Amino acid sequence: MHTQLLSILTPMYNESDGVDFFFETLEHCMQAVPIDYEIICVDDGSADDTLERLRQHAERNPKIKVLALTRNFGKEAAMTAALDHAQGDAVLPIDADLQDPPELIGAMVEKWRTGEYEVVYAKRASRDTDSLMKRNTAHWFYRLFNKMSEIHIPENVGDFRLMDRRAVDAIKQLPEKDRFMKGLFCWPGFRHTVIEFDRQERAQGTSKFNYWKLWNFALSGITSFSTFPIRIGTYLGLTVSFFAFIYAVVVVINTLTTGVDVPGYASTMVVILFLGGIQLFFLGLLGEYVGRIYKEVKNRPIYLVASKWGFEDSDAS
């Protein structure tokens, strides 16, 4: 009988303070889950001693495997590297900060083993640990994304989910270089269910995301899965052209009936600046899409691995 394997994936970047606690908590929780497992940690070019600590744990526990990337490629690339190296019948990404509780893994495995679902989402019942601004912006992002995109992303669901091997193999067929993993995880579809949980504060360390990075991340997500933003320019252009035509007719009629009426300088400047601003905005938006094409055409690898520990083809000891 085939022994099922669960691959737990964790990208890490400067997580030195929390590495020991992460493994202590995760390994303790996995003792109660009746499934064999591997933990694949990807060091995403950390500047601290995260990699050295990961190596020590890999030597201590053969279930722990480590990938070291050549530099910081970003969390999405690190997650892609982990997916590429996962051997499990099911895969479960989890962050090193333990805001997503490992205690939930057992229930997620149980749902998956029923055979009814290929994907088990872990949904945050609330975002009380986040600031009011972060809660609101997250809510607006999900609503905006799901309105614009054909792909639906469940609100308040992060990377923490269990995916069957069929879903993982489908995701691995998606070749784009600029990766928005929340969207890529949902793109294949498959049958899914949801388990809700209360998210905790970070166990150790601080978040690597600030509002500027989150804004760029949201923009990347929307432009990765929807052309609707650039289509707005077409609709807006048609609308402005329509009203410009109506205004031209009004000016002609007014000129024929009352004489030449010279528009004022202020109103002319307002119209010019308004239309100029719209043009620049959509020029920038067009550049966002062209930039994505540029990245794809170069066809550079998503990540580069410097060394491995715990894998059969490990090139470091």
Residue 264 carries which DSSP code? P
Res 193: pLDDT = 87
Rounded to whole angstroms, how far apart are CA atoms 238 and 202?
49
Tell me the mean pLDDT in the region 7-30. Answer: 91
- Where is pLDDT greater, at 237 or 114? 114
The pLDDT confidence band at residue 121, using thresholds 50, 70 and 90, is confident
pLDDT, tens digit, 9 for 90 and up, residues 127-164: 666 666 666 676 677 677 767 777 777 777 778 889 99
The 10s digit of each residue's pLDDT in 294-307 is 777 778 888 899 99
* Per-residue pLDDT, 8: 93
The secondary structure element, H or E, covering residue 69 is strand 64-69
pLDDT score of 209 more than 50: yes
Closest by CA to 158, choosing from 217, 70, 86, 240, is 217
Taking only the tens place, the pLDDT of each residue in 255-271 is 667 765 555 655 666 67
User: Quick one: what percent of the chain has pLDDT higher than 70?
Assistant: 73
Mean pLDDT over all residues of the chain? 79
For 110-119, what is the mean pLDDT? 89
Q: In what side-by-side order are the strands of the sheet with 192-198?
A: 192-198, 119-126, 157-164, 90-93, 5-12, 36-43, 64-69, 305-309
What is the β-pairing status of strands 119-126 and 192-198?
A: parallel
Contacts of 21 (CB under 8 A, 6+ apart): 98, 203, 204
CA angle 88, 317, 90 (to 5 degrees): 5
pTM of the model: 0.72
Type of residue at 271: V
Residues 6 or more apart in contact with residue 300 via CB below 8 angstroms:
177
| Least confident window among 39-53, 84-98, 142-156 | 142-156
Determine the pLDDT at residue 10: 93
pLDDT over 60 (residue 204) = no
- In this prediction, residue 176 carries a pLDDT of 82
d(C-alpha 72, C-alpha 26), whole Å: 25
Q: Is the pLDDT of residue 273 over 50?
A: yes
pLDDT on residue 69:
94
- Bigger pLDDT: 117 vs 261: 117
Q: What is the pLDDT of residue 92?
A: 94
How many CB atoms sit inside 10 A of residue 191's CB? 11
